[in-house]
Amino acid sequence: MDQEIFSADNLQSPLVCLKNVGKDFPVASTGLGHLQTIWSLLTGRGDYARFRALRGVDLEIYTGQSLGLIGENGAGKTTLLKIVAGVIKPSIGKVEINCRVGALLELGAGFHPEYTGRENIYLTAALMGMTKSDIADNISSIIDFADIGEHIDKQIKHYSSGMFIRLGFAIITALRPDILITDEVLAVGDESFQKKCIKWMESYLSDGGTLMLCSHSMYHINKVCHKALWLHRGQPRLYGDSSDVTREYLAHFEEKNSKAEEYKSHNVTHEKNADEKYAIQELWLEDQDRNHVSNVTNGKDVYVCGIAYSPDQRIPVVAVGVLRSDGTPIYGISTEVDRFQPNELGTNSFGFTLHFKRFPLLPGKYLIRAHAMDPEGMRLFDPMECTLVVLGQTREIGLCYIKHAWLPGKRAHS
């Protein structure tokens, strides 16, 4: 692992402590192999085929911390969350949980399909440790938060995935656990409910709550989490500040997928999104004389101009990134970071211009990528790209020009 993840600089006891934790799952491809695996498990022989889902995890989580889990599919993220939640036991290592855990993992986990939503509130809340009187005191607020109308008194086997999440998250809001574990909870459900979840999570963290968030959105990880753990093929690869870990992860991911560039190019207009999402409708570049261009001379000003679509007339957040031609990120910024709001150009349309003064990149081919985001800056939608060729002649090496000066030398100890 690139960086030690055991952090004990806090004098308080950790809520979660994992030491050398690993998890194996038995693998059997045939009926006979399945019987042999069961026999090996029953007899404790341990000679069965297995899949190693997780290995060598050392981790401490303290009150008030927020940790993001990142990694490609199959990296072991959900397995780690289930171990912390107590859903499964590790094959090796030691796990200490010194708190009440609330988990939103698989859709419908813990719900009885034949029970109604209301009945499942009582069942699930009781399993989570709430007393009958606590449930009775909170039942109205739980139902209001879930906001699924008359479906609350219908069997949940008829629920959609979004309704499962609504009900599960609503129960968590009443429980207010010491540590909340979520697995891609923001990826399911309609926009209004996602906003409600985000607002509650921000309140939960500001009140001293502790969070473990698994997400494929690096923006969410950076916005919500102070720390991040990158799992790669079941093993910790990097742990540290979320901005540092996500930057390394994105660089790795971009390098791996550099051949899969499929985005729209210069000055292409997107039609209104059929799913009514925030979107970049137009994107173009201008030089310092405000002429449309696809190339600019090194050291000259560049303007990134565009139009963003908002399905509900609220002002969207716009993120702009500069990348190498192979997709490696160089620089990124958003209107939210700079506290700038795009201006309204017409119904559902908002304009923006980003001025790069004395563009410092050395001659070469680059990509300018723009994303539209919701006004909360929490959900990232499809990007649009245009190509920028930086012209000029130089013998300098690298990506950008750094101001410098040569001075007379001196002896090291003079």
Report strand pairing: 317-324 vs 210-214: unpaired
Section 82-106 average pLDDT: 88
With a cut of 50, say whether residue 264 has pLDDT above it: no
**Amino acid residing at 327:** G
Rounded to whole angstroms, the Cα distance separating 265 from 267 reads 7
105 pLDDT higher than 80: no
| Residue 343 β-bridge partners | 351
Domains of the chain: 16-256 (3.40.50.300), 261-391 (2.70.50.60)
The percent of residues in the chain predicted with pLDDT above 90, rounded, is 38
CA distance 270 to 281: 5
User: Mean of the pLDDT values across residues 372-398?
Assistant: 84
Q: What strands, in cross-sheet order, belong to the sheet with 317-324? A: 295-297, 380-391, 364-373, 317-324, 329-334
Residue 352 pLDDT more than 90? yes
Average pLDDT, integer, range 349-376: 92
pLDDT in tens, 274-321: 456 899 999 999 999 999 999 999 899 999 999 999 998 899 999 999
SS3 for the chain is CCCCCCCCCCCCCCCEEEEEEEEEEECCCCHHHHHHHHHHHHHCCCCCCEEEEEEEEEEEECCCCEEEEECCCCCCHHHHHHHHHCCCCCCEEEEEECCCEEEECCCCCCCCCCCEHHHHHHHHHHHCCCCHHHHHHHHHHHHHHHCCHHHHHCEHHHCCHHHHHHHHHHHHHHHCCCEEEEECHHHCCCHHHHHHHHHHHHHHHHCCCEEEEECCCHHHHHHHCCEEEEEECCEEEEEEEHHHHHHHHHHHHHHHCHHHCCCCCCCCCCCCCCCCCCEEEEEEEEECCCCEECEEECCCCEEEEEEEECCCCCCCEEEEEEEECCCCEEEEEECCCCCCCCEEEECCEEEEEEEECCCCECCEEEEEEEEEECCCCCCEEEEEEEEEEEECCCCCCCCECCCCCCCCCCCCCC
What is residue 29's predicted lDDT score, i.e. its pLDDT?
52
Average pLDDT in the 371-379 region? Answer: 83
- As a whole number, mean pLDDT of residues 101-113 equals 74
If you average pLDDT over residues 128-141, what whole number do you get? 87
Cα 217 to its chain centre, rounded Å, is 3
Tell me what pLDDT residue 30 has: 55
Quote the pLDDT of residue 395. Answer: 77
pLDDT at 37: 58
Q: Hey, how many other C-beta atoms are within 10 angstroms of the C-beta on 177?
A: 17
Give the separation between CA 125 and CA 103, rounded to whole angstroms.
12
Bigger pLDDT: 258 vs 268 = 258
Which residue, 222, 248, 192, 201, is CA-closest to 336? 222
**pLDDT grade for 267, boundaries at 50, 70 and 90:** very low
**pLDDT tens digits, 201-252:** 888 999 999 999 998 888 778 888 889 999 998 999 999 998 888 888 877 7
The gap from C-alpha 284 to its chain's centroid, in whole angstroms, comes to: 28
Q: Does residue 263 register a pLDDT over 60?
A: no
Name the pLDDT band for 159 (thresholds 50, 70, 90): confident
The answer to whether residue 64 scores a pLDDT higher than 80 is: yes
Higher pLDDT, 187 or 266: 187
Say which residues have a Cβ less than 8 Å from residue 216's Cβ, sequence separation at least 6. 70, 184, 187
Could you give the CA distance from residue 330 to residue 324 in angstroms, rounded to a whole number?
7
